[in-house]
């Protein structure tokens, strides 16, 4: 295992956003040594887009099993000390990994580092569609997959994402991480830009899955208190 960073990008039918996500990884001032795209059963031209990317990018296709399963599949391929995730419709700022590796080196061990996120409206939306979006334009703390940097060994100690959850799987995973006393650090800087578009999982996801994820959080807190 080398002392470097691998970035896992799960994607499904996001061909029109994928290149921008990968470009934001390649533009890092603290470069990642591996980029792993896990295609979760795309029906668009994702594979064609990948062919036009940097040839060092690793591409894996799987039958549709959900974002959590795609992240799990990518994490199994990681051979570096550090691991980061990036959703294929989000974009990192160039200093994201540099800031986070410095913070992680200074944080208690074990730890995971996040940052703040700013939202932006995707360019393909019409003015009418954009006007219907309700969001706070101010940067906000991002406890989310696209904002995390963690040691690979600590990720595997927490375990994989719950593939039974179609949405909210990161909420449940984060609760398990905190239950294992993995410290959580949120940097004040904006580390990512979250794209708002017609298919955001956070807006179209199944509320029942979020409820199950929140119940898992409560159960984990009870275990810690016992």
Strand, helix or coil at 62?
strand
- Across 72-91, average pLDDT: 97
Q: Hey, what are 120's tokens?
A: 């932006």
Q: For residue 141, what pLDDT is reported? A: 97
Q: Poorest-confidence range of 12-26, 134-148, 199-213?
A: 199-213
11-36 per-position pLDDT tens digit:
999 999 999 999 999 999 999 999 99
Residue spans of alpha helices (H) in the chain: 15-26, 46-51, 67-75, 96-106, 127-132, 152-158, 169-179, 201-204, 207-225
Q: Cα(75)–Cα(120) distance, rounded to whole angstroms?
A: 28
Place of tokens 């691991």: 83
Q: Poorest-confidence range of 72-81, 85-94, 190-199?
A: 190-199
Q: Cα(45)–Cα(17) distance, rounded to whole angstroms?
A: 11
Q: For residue 218, what pLDDT is reported? A: 46
Q: For residue 20, what pLDDT is reported? A: 97
Q: Cα(68)–Cα(87) distance, rounded to whole angstroms?
A: 11
Half-sphere exposure of 26 (CA within 13 A, CB side): 12
> For residue 35, which of 52, 48, 22 has the smallest C-alpha distance?
22
High-pLDDT (> 70) share of the chain, %: 87
> For residue 111, which of 11, 32, 18, 178 has the smallest C-alpha distance?
178
Q: pLDDT category, 223, cuts 50, 70, 90?
A: low
Number of domains into which the chain is organized: 1
More confident residue, 39 or 132: 39
Q: Hey, what are 123's tokens?
A: 């360019």
Q: For residue 135, what pLDDT is reported? A: 81
Identify the helix (H) or strand (E) that includes residue 80: strand 80-85
Q: Where in the sequence is the domain holding 38, given as residue range(s)?
A: 2-225
Q: For residue 129, what pLDDT is reported? A: 82
pTM of the model: 0.88
Cα dihedral 168/6/8/180 (nearest 10): -20
CATH number, domain containing residue 217: 3.90.550.10
> For residue 9, which of 110, 55, 77 has the smallest C-alpha distance?
77
The pLDDT of residue 205 is above 50: no
The pLDDT of residue 2 is above 80: no
The pLDDT of residue 213 is above 80: no
Query: Could you tell me which residues are beta bridge partners of residue 149?
Result: 84, 113
More confident residue, 174 or 134: 174
- Across 45-59, average pLDDT: 96
């Amino acid at each position: 295992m080398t002392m470097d960073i691998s970035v896992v990008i799960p994607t499904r039918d996001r061909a029109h956003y994928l290149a921008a996500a990968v470009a934001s990884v390649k533009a890092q001032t603290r470069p990642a040594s591996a980029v792993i795209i896990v295609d979760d059963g795309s029906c668009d031209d994702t594979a064609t887009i990948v062919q036009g990317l940097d040839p060092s990018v690793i591409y894996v296709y799987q039958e549709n099993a959900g974002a959590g399963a795609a992240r799990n599949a990518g994490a199994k391929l990681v051979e570096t000390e550090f691991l980061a995730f990036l959703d294929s419709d989000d974009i990192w700022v160039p200093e994201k990994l540099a800031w986070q590796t410095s913070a992680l080196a200074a944080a208690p061990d074990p730890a995971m580092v996040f940052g703040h996120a700013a939202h932006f409206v995707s360019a393909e939306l019409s003015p009418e569609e954009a006007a219907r979006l309700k969001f706070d334009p101010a940067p906000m703390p991002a406890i989310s997959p696209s904002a995390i940097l963690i040691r690979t060994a600590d990720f595997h100690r927490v375990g994989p994402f719950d593939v039974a959850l179609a949405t909210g799987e990161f909420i449940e995973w984060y609760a398990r991480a905190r239950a294992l006393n993995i410290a959580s650090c949120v940097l004040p800087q904006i580390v990512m830009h979250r794209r708002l578009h017609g298919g955001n999982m956070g807006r179209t996801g199944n509320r029942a899955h979020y409820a199950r994820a929140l119940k898992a959080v409560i159960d984990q807190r009870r275990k810690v208190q016992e």
